[in-house]
Amino acid sequence: MGLDGDHFCLELENGTKPGGNDLGLEKEPKTIAIEDAVKVLLQGLGEDVNREGIKKTPLRVAKALREGTGGYKQKVKDIVQGALFPEVGLHDRVGHAGGAGGLVIVRDLDMFSYCESCLLPFQVKCHVGYVPSGEQVVGLSKLSRVADIFAKRLQDPQRLADEVCSALHLGINPAGVAVILQCWHIHFPNLEPVFHDAKHQGWIKVLVSSGSGVFENENADAWCDFLGLLKFRGVTADKILTMDSEKKSWCPSYSSSVAKGSSELIAPNPRMVAAIASILGSLGEDPSRKELLETPSHFVRWLMNFQNTELEMKFNGFTCGIKDVLKPNGECSHNHQQLHAELSLSFWSQCEHHLLPFHGVVHIGYLCPEGFNPIEKSLLQSIVHFYGFKLQVQERLTRQIAETVSSILGGDTMVVVEANHTCMISRGIEKLGSNTATIAVLGQFSTDPAIRALFLERIPSSTTSGMF
Amino acid sequence: MGLDGDHFCLELENGTKPGGNDLGLEKEPKTIAIEDAVKVLLQGLGEDVNREGIKKTPLRVAKALREGTGGYKQKVKDIVQGALFPEVGLHDRVGHAGGAGGLVIVRDLDMFSYCESCLLPFQVKCHVGYVPSGEQVVGLSKLSRVADIFAKRLQDPQRLADEVCSALHLGINPAGVAVILQCWHIHFPNLEPVFHDAKHQGWIKVLVSSGSGVFENENADAWCDFLGLLKFRGVTADKILTMDSEKKSWCPSYSSSVAKGSSELIAPNPRMVAAIASILGSLGEDPSRKELLETPSHFVRWLMNFQNTELEMKFNGFTCGIKDVLKPNGECSHNHQQLHAELSLSFWSQCEHHLLPFHGVVHIGYLCPEGFNPIEKSLLQSIVHFYGFKLQVQERLTRQIAETVSSILGGDTMVVVEANHTCMISRGIEKLGSNTATIAVLGQFSTDPAIRALFLERIPSSTTSGMF
């Protein structure tokens, strides 16, 4: 394909000034206050806030947090108004085609929200239904827009469902509203068990519901119709959490505190805690609201998993133990090289551009002489975690793992990292299904496409299929 | 759940003025020009532009079209600038971890674009890769943002891929860029064959690619790595269209013209054609660009499928033939009633709020006395098409089908309509995976939850799984 320089320039000249809103947002006192607070967090992590990769992180985080919680500023009435359409034949009688017209359901609305307990985003699949009355129906897209107003706040799944239900009921005055939310929250890494435990790759799931009017009673017949049209999405009545049950166990920030026992927990850095509390205030929340009291500590504990560590020392610690790794096994070694592949090693990391987690799997391929034992999986997993648990970018993580493995083996290494980036889900672009793969190649892998292809073929298909 | 009126009011009072941009957009001369053109289209369809359901349609269409083609106003440079990060160790040498760092791929970016040949939106799954050079990487979200600038224009899949590739190459100056797009375009209904033919439920798919630098040669090794990490998404080299092949066959507006032969085509209403041409101009396009010359005619032909028809006459035509439908079969009839279900009848319709297609399947359930023959499928399919091919809302469509079937049978009817709304995909909210179900119930179905559940259980799971 030819590159058309003129065409590119044309784009630039034709453009009008974009991001006019952004410039306004950047200068608002609340944005600047959040920026300052994020600098405190970065310093608490042992980072140099003027480092090239992170010097704009405070602004990025501030803008993203304010946009991602923009629901505090939106009015339900403005969205619903003008979107109520008269439909002849939709009378007040419920349950007739010529009456209330039966049920209207919008399914599979993908959105995200922010967990009020730990400030991390969580993913939501929202199903909304209502029974029209009073000869009017609402524009279908408004169900999604109203749900989004409440999602873009600090939330708990049940409260989110209740608020969406209540707002729709008051906004469109139907015979009833039903809301079902499937929510996914990332696990928190527990540094010790994560080295041996694969469960941290999964997600914490919860299913909640809320109903008004003909759906107010959870045993109402109307629920059967609604659930009947959701059953293929894995939604069934028995999986729905009853209100207040396990209320505290949804966010892993609670369970990880409980697991360790409060006496064992290291007290979080008070400057960082105060910084988070000030961010909550800047977003329009009351940091003294009961549900938010522990949020600053939870977020700081999460963040401290990714503290800047004494790189050289630990790295030497790894390499010291490595000399004995590659030794001949019983058989005689030839000059033939064998491809070894260690696939789907889990990793956790924190995006240094957005201060949000990215996580997924690492695949490591290397050549070693026939007759030699492959590197133990646990050592490779340790290398992966060592480079993962810090502020990172995926490209660097990939390269660092490749270089370290290569330094053990003396050359021929290929590393593929497949990751879901929370920042791609929740910040700005909202590409919920997207994921990122990066490749680093050294030695023979950089010159031989056939050996690369051989390794790529071994990578399983489902490693980054996300949560759905 | 209790409804909290105070809470709702609080939302309203706390809100700042929303939609500030919208109000500006509404008053711009280009928006008003599109509104006027849309009124011409509605009149051409035989509609009363002051009818309650459609009186705001011109404004909705104008705003949505201008927002959906906002890419004409955006600059690549503004997006990429400030998002290039230095990465130590990423030298100019390609193919090393310590060199160009290997490949970076962002997969499964869901977006939509507008077909330049018929003005309908088409859905895009975009996979972008690049090989960094010059010790810098670009923020991952920028790959998506740049792709979106070019998607939000009138496009052809190959041109979209080329423009994204070219812009990224010039913007981030890497060793190479690779773009692969999976595109889905809705079929056009051909009124005659659609009555017998199920293929119109599907989508027209196309797979295109574009490459620069190390990807410029389509046989380059770099492509193997890229495709190796896309194979599980159904992307393989042999499925990719080579440039210029079948260039004209992607959009069904071409093939439907060719199929009928130009002599058989009714000349489209010249006022409507002129209105579309003026819309193209208002969006910032040149209506005399070669690829856009036939677009107004194509869009008008598509639209005329949904012309307002002489409702009474045709309806009488249906009911006249219906008297003989329900007759006893050979066996003696009892008083027992049997549930009959006709599932997954395809339908097409045009959303009267957005002037965009929605389509999917209709499931019809009814009770008829044991010993009577069920209604023929072809008659039910005719009823579905009769109410589908006009400006509609899904709630009304559901009710009309239910009432018509009920008038044949004398009562006990249930209708479920499952639909994908193009307006939910392309207008404003961009909820690509969402779909809508509506229910209408008459007679025994409105009072007996068990019989409703029995019918809902028969509905197959995959009818609205969308195109992915």
Ranges A5-19, B353-367, B384-398: which has the least confidence: A5-19
Residue B125 CA to residue B89 CA, distance in Å, equals: 32
The two tokens of residue A32 are: 């600047």
Residues in chain A closer than 8 A to B399 (CB atoms): 87, 89-90, 97-98, 101-102
- What integer pLDDT is reported at residue B248 of this predicted model? 62
Average pLDDT in the B97-106 region?
Answer: 69
**Closest-CA residue of chain A to B166:** A3
Is the pLDDT at A4 greater than 60? The verdict is: no
Closest CA to A454 of A412, A419, A418: A412
Indicate if A240 and A326 belong to the same structural domain.
no
Chain A closest-CA separation from residue B391 CA (Å) = 14
Ranges A93-102, A237-246, B76-85, B323-332: which has the least confidence: B323-332
CA B326, distance to chain mean position in Å, is 38
Where does the pLDDT of residue A218 fall: very low under 50, low under 70, confident under 90, or very high at 90 and above?
confident
Domain end residue (candidates: A232, A265, A298): A265
Q: Which helix (H) or strand (E) holds A363?
A: strand A356-369
Q: Is residue A1 part of a domain?
A: no
Average pLDDT in the B356-362 region?
Answer: 91
Residues in chain B closer than 8 A to A61 (CB atoms): none
Average pLDDT in the A222-236 region?
Answer: 87
The answer to whether A394 contacts B442, with C-beta atoms less than 8 Å apart, is no
Q: Give the count of alpha carbons within 13 A of B77, CB side only.
A: 12
Indicate if A319 and A427 belong to the same structural domain.
yes
Indicate if B225 and B114 belong to the same structural domain.
yes
Helices (H) and strands (E) in chain A, counts: 18, 12
Is the pLDDT at A399 greater than 70? The verdict is: yes
Query: A322-341: per-residue pLDDT in tens?
Result: 444 444 444 434 457 889 99
Residues in chain B closer than 8 A to A104 (CB atoms): 394-395, 436-439
Is the pLDDT at B220 greater than 80? The verdict is: yes
The answer to whether A97 contacts B435, with C-beta atoms less than 8 Å apart, is no
Ranges A142-151, B228-237, B362-371: which has the least confidence: B228-237
Where does the pLDDT of residue A434 fall: very low under 50, low under 70, confident under 90, or very high at 90 and above?
confident
B449 touches chain A (CB under 8 A): yes
The answer to whether A8 contacts B416, with C-beta atoms less than 8 Å apart, is no
Alpha helices in B16-154 (DSSP H): 20-27, 29-44, 57-68, 76-80, 140-151
B338 touches chain A (CB under 8 A): no
Reduce the DSSP state of residue A59 to 3 states and report it.
Answer: helix
Closest CA to A346 of A457, A420, A427, A426: A420
Residue A430 CA to residue A394 CA, distance in Å, equals: 19
B420 Cβ neighbours under 8 A, 6+ residues apart: B358, B359, B360, B435, B436, B464, B466
Q: Bigger pLDDT: B133 or A243? A: B133
Instruction: Write a three-state SS string for A157-184.
Output: HHHHHHHHHHHHHHHHCCCEEEEEEEEE
Of A393, A415, A440, the CB nearest to B137: A393
Of B56, B87, B166, the CB nearest to A8: B166
A434 touches chain B (CB under 8 A): yes
What does R_g of chain A's alpha carbons equal in angstroms? Answer: 26
Adjacent-strand bridge partners of A420:
A359
Indicate if B116 and B236 belong to the same structural domain.
yes
The answer to whether B438 contacts A7, with C-beta atoms less than 8 Å apart, is no
Indicate if A246 and A325 belong to the same structural domain.
no
The two tokens of residue B425 are: 């995909």
**Closest-CA residue of chain B to A211:** B1
Is the pLDDT at A11 greater than 90? The verdict is: no
A330 touches chain B (CB under 8 A): no
- What integer pLDDT is reported at residue A2 of this predicted model? 41
Residues in chain A closer than 8 A to B456 (CB atoms): 224-225, 228-229
Domain end residue (candidates: A230, A265, A300): A265
- What integer pLDDT is reported at residue B424 of this predicted model? 75
- What integer pLDDT is reported at residue B243 of this predicted model? 56
Indicate if A213 and A148 belong to the same structural domain.
yes
Number of other CB atoms surrounding residue B354 within 10 Å = 23
Average pLDDT in the B374-389 region?
Answer: 90
Percent over 70 (pLDDT), chain B: 77
B446 touches chain A (CB under 8 A): yes
Q: Is residue B9 part of a domain?
A: no
Reduce the DSSP state of residue B5 to 3 states and report it.
Answer: helix
CB contact residues (below 8 A), chain A span 70-99, against chain B: 72-79, 82, 85-87, 89-90, 95-99
What is the residue-averaged pLDDT of chain A? 80
Query: B15-39: per-residue pLDDT in tens?
Result: 333 334 445 788 899 999 999 999 9
A463 Cβ neighbours under 8 A, 6+ residues apart: A344, A360, A361, A418
Average pLDDT in the B251-258 region?
Answer: 70
- What integer pLDDT is reported at residue A462 of this predicted model? 59
- Rounded to 10 deg, the angle between the B221-228 and A449-458 helix axes is 0
Indicate if B261 and B315 belong to the same structural domain.
no
Indicate if A357 and A215 belong to the same structural domain.
no
Residue A182 CA to residue A113 CA, distance in Å, equals: 12
Is the pLDDT at B244 greater than 50? The verdict is: yes
B229 touches chain A (CB under 8 A): yes
Adjacent-strand bridge partners of B340:
B366
Residue B112 CA to residue A251 CA, distance in Å, equals: 34
Chain A closest-CA separation from residue B221 CA (Å) = 6
Closest CA to A85 of B52, B56, B439: B52
Q: State how many domains chain A has.
A: 2
Q: Is residue B251 part of a domain?
A: yes
In order, the DSSP letters of A108-155 are: EEEEEEEETTT--EEEEEEEEEEE-BTTEEE-HHHHHHHHHHHHSSEE
Indicate if A73 and A188 belong to the same structural domain.
yes
Residue A227 CA to residue A209 CA, distance in Å, equals: 11
Percent over 70 (pLDDT), chain A: 77
Average pLDDT in the B382-402 region?
Answer: 92
Host domain of residue B113:
69-265
The answer to whether A395 contacts B87, with C-beta atoms less than 8 Å apart, is yes
Residue A109 CA to residue A364 CA, distance in Å, equals: 37
B25 touches chain A (CB under 8 A): no
Residues in chain A closer than 8 A to B165 (CB atoms): 1
Residue A463 CA to residue B13 CA, distance in Å, equals: 46
B107 touches chain A (CB under 8 A): yes
- Rounded to 10 deg, the angle between the B29-44 and B295-304 helix axes is 50
Q: What is this structure's pTM?
A: 0.86
The residue written with tokens 């207040």 in the block is A244
Is the pLDDT at B258 greater than 70? The verdict is: no
Ranges A40-54, A182-196, B66-80, B126-140, most confident: A40-54
Residue A13 CA to residue B294 CA, distance in Å, equals: 29
Ranges A101-115, A325-339, A369-383, B142-156: which has the least confidence: A325-339
What does R_g of chain B's alpha carbons equal in angstroms? Answer: 26
Residue B108 CA to residue A122 CA, distance in Å, equals: 20
Domain end residue (candidates: A265, A298, A330): A265
Q: Bigger pLDDT: B331 or A429? A: A429
The CATH number assigned to the domain holding B396 equals 3.30.1130.10
Where does the pLDDT of residue B57 fall: very low under 50, low under 70, confident under 90, or very high at 90 and above?
very high
Q: Which helix (H) or strand (E) holds A339?
A: strand A337-351
Q: Is residue B22 part of a domain?
A: no
In this structure, the dihedral spanned by the alpha carbons of residues B271, B273, B274 and B277, taken in order and rounded to 10 degrees, is 160
- What integer pLDDT is reported at residue B210 of this predicted model? 96
Of A140, A224, A435, the CB nearest to B424: A140
Indicate if A320 and A451 belong to the same structural domain.
yes
Residue A329 CA to residue B29 CA, distance in Å, equals: 79
Of A106, A145, A225, the CB nearest to B452: A225
Q: Is residue B181 part of a domain?
A: yes
- What integer pLDDT is reported at residue B6 of this predicted model? 39
What is the residue-averaged pLDDT of chain B? 80
Closest CA to A397 of A361, A443, A444: A361
Residue A286 CA to residue A277 CA, distance in Å, equals: 9
Query: B439-454: per-residue pLDDT in tens?
Result: 999 989 988 989 999 9
Q: Bigger pLDDT: A294 or A320? A: A294
Ranges A11-25, A335-349, B133-147, B392-406: which has the least confidence: A11-25
Number of other CB atoms surrounding residue A246 within 10 Å = 9
- What integer pLDDT is reported at residue A259 of this predicted model? 54
Q: How buried is B293 (Cβ within 10 angstroms: 0-12 exposed, 13-18 middle, 19+ buried)?
A: exposed
B59 touches chain A (CB under 8 A): no
Reduce the DSSP state of residue B284 to 3 states and report it.
Answer: coil
Q: Is residue A10 part of a domain?
A: no
B268 Cβ neighbours under 8 A, 6+ residues apart: B296, B297, B300, B301, B304
Indicate if A451 and A334 belong to the same structural domain.
yes
Indicate if A211 and A323 belong to the same structural domain.
no
Adjacent-strand bridge partners of A342:
A364
Of A103, A145, A212, the CB nearest to B1: A212
- CA dihedral sign of residues B81, B83, B88, B93: negative
Chain B closest-CA separation from residue A344 CA (Å) = 14
**Closest-CA residue of chain B to A77:** B12
Percent over 90 (pLDDT), chain A: 44
Inter-chain CB pairs, A–B, below 8 Å = 329
Is the pLDDT at B368 greater than 90? The verdict is: no
- What integer pLDDT is reported at residue B12 of this predicted model? 30
Is the pLDDT at A314 greater than 60? The verdict is: no
Chain B closest-CA separation from residue A260 CA (Å) = 36
- What integer pLDDT is reported at residue A315 of this predicted model? 47
Residues in chain A closer than 8 A to B218 (CB atoms): none
CB contact residues (below 8 A), chain A span 118-157, against chain B: 132, 137, 139-141, 144-145, 148-149
Q: Is residue B363 part of a domain?
A: yes
B30 touches chain A (CB under 8 A): no
